[in-house]
Amino acid sequence: MTSPVAPGAMAGLRVIDLTRVLGGPYCTQILADHGADVIKVEPPAGDEVRDWGPPFHEEDAAYFVGVNRNKRSIGLDLASEGGRAVLMKMLEGADVLIENFKPGTLDKWGIGNDLLRAKFPRLVHCRISGFGADGPRGGNPGYDAIIQAMTGMIKATGSPQSGPMRIGVPVVDITTGLYAAIGILMALSERQRSGLGQFLETTLYETGLAVMHPHAANYFMHGRPPQLTGNEHPNLVPYAIFQTRTDDIFIGVGNDGTFRKLAKEIGKPELGTDPRFARNKDRIANRDALRAELAAVFSQHEAGPLCDRLLAAGLPAGPVQSIDQALTSAHTVYRGDVIEKDWYKGVASPIRLERSKPSLRRTPPKFSQHTKEVLSEFGYSEGEIETMIAKGAVCGPTRRR
C-alpha cells in the first residue's frame, strides 16, 4: 500500500480543492488516494485545522495531517483580483472544483457558478455547506455537533442515565465528505455521456437527516421519536455490550436463526426456543430478561477467547477495543490498514480495487509548499510568481495569522 503498483482509478483527474476543515478535505483525500492530482488552495491564514492540536508535527495538527495526504498546497488570496486570476488560470485544465465557502461567496467575488459554467463547461463544481443557499437556514454556518443536535442524532444517542450525548466522531462532516465524493463521481460519469460538467451540492444538514437510519424510517412508520437506549438497538435484540470476566464485548444478532445458533454455541440452547425469546419481536418485548440470561453466561468467559470462538462459528461478536488496540490488532496489520511514509502514518483507503490500487505518494503538505511547483505547471515564470507573492495575491511559505 505504500507504493503505487498501477495508476489509481482517478489518475489523470485534476481537482482544485478550496475546502478547509474536514468534510471537503476528507472528500478530496479519497480522490487523491486513488490517483487524482489534488491541488489544495489555502487562504493566506491557511486551513485552520492546522492549528487544531495538540498533537502536532512541525506545527501542523494531527487533525489536519489525517485528511490531507497525497495533495499539493498553494496559498492564494482569493479576496484579491490577482489571486482570483490565478484560480481561473488553474481551472482551465481542471476537472473538479470543490469548495465549502459560505453560499454566495464566489458570486461576491465575481466567479459564481454561472460564470464558471460559461467559461468551463466541462467543470464539475461541488459545494459543501451547512444548510444550502436557500430555505430558512440557508447560508447559516454548519458544524458537526450542531447538525447532530438539529437532526435528532444527539437525542437518539446516550442512555437514560447519561442523557442525550454527542456521537464521539464527527460523523456528519465525514459522511458529507463521502457523499460529496460520490456526487463528484456521479457527475463525472454523467459527463462521459453529455460532455458537460454540472454543479452539485452536499450539505451537512441533509447528510445528518440521511444517515438517521433506522430512526427516520421508524418515525415514518409509527410516528414516535427514538428513546435513549444506550448501546442497545431499537429494532434488534440482542444487540449490545456485555461484560465478560475480563473485558467488554459486543454481540449483534440480526435474525432468529442466528439467535438460536448463538444460544447453542454458549451452551444455552433452550434460550433459542423459549417463547419469550424465539422471535425478534419477543426478544424486544423481553429484552431485560434476555439480557440477564446472557450476562450470566458471558460473565463466566474471557473476552478474547469467547469472541474468537463466536466469530469462528459465524456469529457476530467482537471485543470492545480502544483505538490503539484496533490499529495494532493482528487483522489490521495483516490487511495493511496502516500506511507509512517518512514521518507520516495513517489509515489506508478502505476502497480496494483489484487493479487500480490506492497509494501513498505524498505526505500531507506544509502550507503553500508547492506554490512555485504548481504555478510553473500553469505557465507562470519564476519572476511572475515572485511578483505575485510580493503583492500578496500568492502566498509564500509563511501563514498570515
List active site positions.
173
CB 127 within 8 A of CB 106: no
Looking only at the bridges linking them, the beta strands covering 37-42 and 14-17 are parallel
| Cβ-Cβ contacts under 8 Å for 266 (sequence gap 6 or more) | 294, 297, 298
CA separation, residue 275 to residues 184, 237, 262, 263 (Å): 51, 14, 16, 14
Q: At what angle do helices 81-91 and 382-391 cross, to 10 degrees?
A: 140
Q: At what angle do helices 171-194 and 23-33 cross, to 10 degrees?
A: 50
Q: How many Å apart are CA 236 and CA 101, to the nearest integer? A: 41
Phi, psi of 38 (to 5 degrees): -100, 120
| Cβ-Cβ contacts under 8 Å for 123 (sequence gap 6 or more) | 91, 94, 95, 96, 97, 116, 117, 197
